[in-house]
Structures are given as C-alpha cells and as structure tokens.
Amino acid sequence: MTVNKMIRQKRILYETRGLYEESPVDEARNVIIPLDISSLALDELNNMCFHHSLRKDLPSISMNGLKAKIGRNSQGIDEEAAIYFSYGLEAVLETWDVWLKWRMNRLFDPKWQEENTKMISRIKNGLAIEEEKKQFYSECDKWNNEFISGAYKEDIKKLAFLFEYQFQEMQHSIYYTLALCEGKEFTFDEIDTKKLRVLANKEADEGAYMKQRVMYGDYSDNDNIYVDKWNMNTVLGKDIIIMPDRMRLLQTKDGKTDVFSIVLSFYNTYKENIPFEEQVHFDLLDGYIQYVKSKVKIGVDNSVVENYTVMEDKYRKK
C-alpha cells in the first residue's frame, strides 16, 4: 500500500471514530481550579506532577476525580491500572517527544494499522496462506528497519500526517497538575512494565528492544527496569482516585487550556531558561513545534483562526 493511499484511509478512520466528541461542561459543577502557568517559577514547574487527558473527560473528572485505570492507548499493553504523569518541566517535553514517536509507530507499523485487522486475525487463526503471511511480515520488517534507523524522519508525507493527527489530539486535550503523595501513591523507583517486558525478552527479540530504545530516546535509561521522570505512574494496581481538590487545570496567561498551547509555553520557557548545552536532544518535538507554528495561529477560546492545512496540496491531489 502506498503512503498516499494509507493516508487517505487513515484520514477517513480518524475523522469518523468520534474520539473528540465532547459533552457540554457544566461550569457550575467544574470544581477544578485553573492555574496560570505563567505565574509559576522554574523551580515550581520542575517539582510538579503533570497529567493530560481528553477534554471530553473533564465533566466526569470534575464530578468523580481522576481514577487509576488502563487507558485506551494502553489496552493490550498494560496489565494493571495506574495514573500516568510527567514529573517536571523537562519531563513534559520528553513525554511529547516520545509520544510523537509512539504515535508514528502506531500509525505506520502494519501490526497496529486498523486496515490490517482482518489479515492479522487470519494469521492468528491459521487461515492466511503463506504468500499473505510472507508479504505481511515483509512489510513489518521494512517498517521496523525504517523506524530503528530513523529514516522515517525524512519522510515528509508521514511526518505531515503525524503532525496533523497529533495537533488535533492536543487541541482536544487539557493538562492538570496532580497533588500526589510520594511514598504512598507513587515512587521514583516504580517499575516500568514496558521496559521490564522488553528487557526480559531482549535476546529473543532484539528488534523490539531496539524499537523501544528509539522510542524512549537518549534521555531515558533504557537498560534498567525503572520509570523515567517523563513516564511516571502511580503504584501499579493500587485503587487510587485523585479528587478535584487535589488537581489544577492548567492555562496560559491569555486563558488557553489546550495541550498544544500549554506545551508550547513550556517549550519556550525551557528553551529560554536552560543553557543550550544542558538541554536534552529531542527527536521529533522541535520539528513538530516549528511545523505547527508555521501553519497555524492559535486564537482566543482555543480555536484555530487561520486555515490549518498540514498536508501539502501536491500530496492531497494524489
């Protein structure tokens, strides 16, 4: 399947799946207090726990709190419920660099593509013929090599689709700070179950280990089983609820609450305050920020006030 055809199919899938449908927020019942991030000092930002979720979850969280669970992106991966968060400003940016790579893999790895669901089922159930399996596994190997080598960074069409998808998701998501109790609700030596699983099987599946190393980036300690600050979680399997009075809803100085605006503000703060030689190396985040900034103007009320067209016209025509 060509990239152009894949992009057309994915566009239809993501436009019709209804992930971003939102319920009206009853402001009278929204008890999560807003927090202007421009009022926070760098030291404060570096010692906060940050959690993001879709805006459509705000009414439920306002009423019932944030509950430990296995999220929609963790189905089939995580085995125990938890609340995931980033610890500190730098960790938030690392989170989104990892997220962009994770999303790229989910979008273009044949094993995760929704259009391959039937084929994957046929292979699992022993119904696929040898030629079908050979072609499918060949496509998987081709993508794995592209991802591990970093060649995907040179594919303008894939990056454009990724950036468009991620921008839409960030526009429909919001950020919270969580008042968590260290030692009771989380620890810095919690086990990263994804690392544990991959490291335990490293010799048998070195490809999976290398893909995770790429995804986790140089700012992660890939050879131990413990969490990094960008990928913290509450105690696995523990029934934890963070009630609204222990949360704050982040907003920019001009009242924007969408995740892109928050991350952009954090990104600018980081670049302005951290000496260049001390900054971490991002694989995709720098390009993503610059790409979106060149394509859109974010207006009041978190709306796009300039036409947002990430995909170049020459790709749309094919």
What share of the chain in percent tops pLDDT 90?
69
- 173-178/49-54 β-pairing: antiparallel
Mean pLDDT across the chain: 85
Instruction: Say which residue, 242 or 80, is predicted with more confidence.
Output: 242
Residues ≥6 apart with Cβ < 8 Å to 75: none
Q: What is the pLDDT, as a whole number, of residue 168? A: 87
- Specify if 108 maps to a domain: no
Q: 43 is written with which tokens? A: 């030291």
- The per-residue pLDDT for range 277-311, each reduced to its tens digit, is 999 999 999 999 999 988 765 433 333 323 333 33
Q: What is the pLDDT, as a whole number, of residue 114? A: 79
- Specify if 243 maps to a domain: yes
Task: Please give the model's pTM, rounded to 2 decimal places.
Answer: 0.86
Please report, as a single letter, which amino acid is at residue 128.
A
| Order of strands across the sheet that contains 232-233 | 33-36, 247-251, 173-178, 49-54, 84-87, 232-233
Mean pLDDT of 69-73: 67
Cβ atoms 214, 151 nearer than 8 A: no
Residues ≥6 apart with Cβ < 8 Å to 29: 59, 62, 63
- Specify if 130 maps to a domain: no
Whether residue 122 has pLDDT greater than 80 = yes
Q: What is the pLDDT, as a whole number, of residue 164? A: 86
- 247-251/33-36 β-pairing: parallel
Residue-wise DSSP of 56-106: GGHHHHHHH-EEPB--GGGTTT--S-B-EEEESHHHHHHHHHHHHHHHHHH
- Specify if 176 maps to a domain: yes
Mean pLDDT of 165-180: 94
- Specify if 121 maps to a domain: no
- Specify if 119 maps to a domain: no
* Distance in angstroms between the alpha carbons of the first and the last residue of the chain: 14
Could you tell me the residue range of the domain that residue 263 belongs to?
A: 3-102+158-316
Whether residue 123 has pLDDT greater than 80 = yes
Whether residue 95 has pLDDT greater than 90 = yes
- The per-residue pLDDT for range 181-229, each reduced to its tens digit, is 999 999 999 999 999 999 998 988 999 999 999 999 999 999 899 999 9
- Specify if 107 maps to a domain: no
Task: Report the number of distinct structural domains present in the chain.
Answer: 1
- Specify if 142 maps to a domain: no
Mean pLDDT of 90-110: 96
Mean pLDDT of 229-247: 95
Q: 233 is written with which tokens? A: 């979680």
- The per-residue pLDDT for range 11-55, each reduced to its tens digit, is 555 554 555 565 555 554 568 999 999 999 999 999 999 999 999
